[in-house]
Chain A
Amino acid sequence: MRNILVVEDSPTMRQLISFAIKRVPNSHVIEATDGVDALKKLSSEKIDLILADINMPVMDGLKLVSLVRGNPSYKDIPIIIVTTEGAEEDRKRAIAIGANAYLPKPIQTQELIKLVNGFL
């Protein structure tokens, strides 16, 4: 079973992403409401992929990406950013920090599943 950590402050988006991920075979969704919550989950669970929003309270998605990349235990976990920030410079910044893929909202479920499958 592959664990996918969905880091999103919006319950609507968390539920929607979890719904979509259920269609990826052998996958299990673990939810986190912000970057700090995500780091807690990372320390307690074996995570295979992270899906993170950028705009979140407490700790945003970009900070989370840089912390994950700086930690030798998690640095190889693929990270997909799912955000409302659709500008090219936002995408470049996230990729430069260490995100593997960038998916602007509103998400197309098929596209999300394809991306997730590509990293698992």
Chain B
Amino acid sequence: MGSASGTPAAPASPTGRTAPVRPGPRRRVAAALHRHAGVRLSLLLSAPLAWLGVAYLGALAALFVTAFWSTDSFTGDLVRTFTWANFHDVVTIEVYRTVALRSLGVAAAVTLIDMVIAFPMAFAMAKVASPRAQRWLVIAVLTPLWASYLVKAYAWRVMLSSDGLLGWGYGLTATVLTLSYLWLPYMILPIYAGLERLPDSLLDAAGDLGARGWRTFRTVVWPLTFPAIVAGSVFTFSLSLGDYIAVKIVGGKSQLIGNVVYDNIGAANNLPFAAAVATIPVVIMLVYLAAVRRTGALENL
């Protein structure tokens, strides 16, 4: 915004009055805001920061602090004294290590399956389909993404039940399948967006220089779309790690980190331990985000 707008210029107005009109309070506030970018910025940031920075981050921090407390085993009340016991239990008790590793395995399997399915689909959308078809394809992929998460998990429950269409039964495999299905569009979209930004001329150049399909893929397409693929994997990984509902619906008896947290909040009423367990996916995600930061994946989110 360029010139100062606080006071109108002095020259005579059409009505013939020469004295500049003294600006009203609204105009003065507007002028002050206009001149002081810092004030403007603080006002703009105030509410979002109060909400997300203070309330949300505060809640997360409070949760983390709770992880160092314990509950009284008789009354179930919080005991607000510092202890490492929860983290000690999480690390040393066999069950939790198994659950953590299993969750990590499920998240990795889901990410891999989605990558393998999503890439050819995204490639066909971005580089084979006509521009007109592309628009419809994006909508076709996006729309079911918004169709209720529960409905989709439930659809798989119906299909996998012993007399359903597939009839494979429930368990860890069913969980991996269902999660892969749920998060597939989250993988397709970033890869599609990445491929759309990849100029066709590069592929043509690779062809002109004698590269066949596979070589073009390995030396041109893959390196340039890698950040987009990683961006997709951030979604599939994080969403799989935090899930407890799909597991409840199709997982049979198997447990993931999410269920342990859920059970400790509900049945066991042990918030400190739930908080300690919940730090596992957070730490994994933070490590993952830090590891992929250098690929430029986060700009693709």
- A and B, one complex? no
Binding site for A on B (CB under 8 A): none
Binding site for B on A (CB under 8 A): none
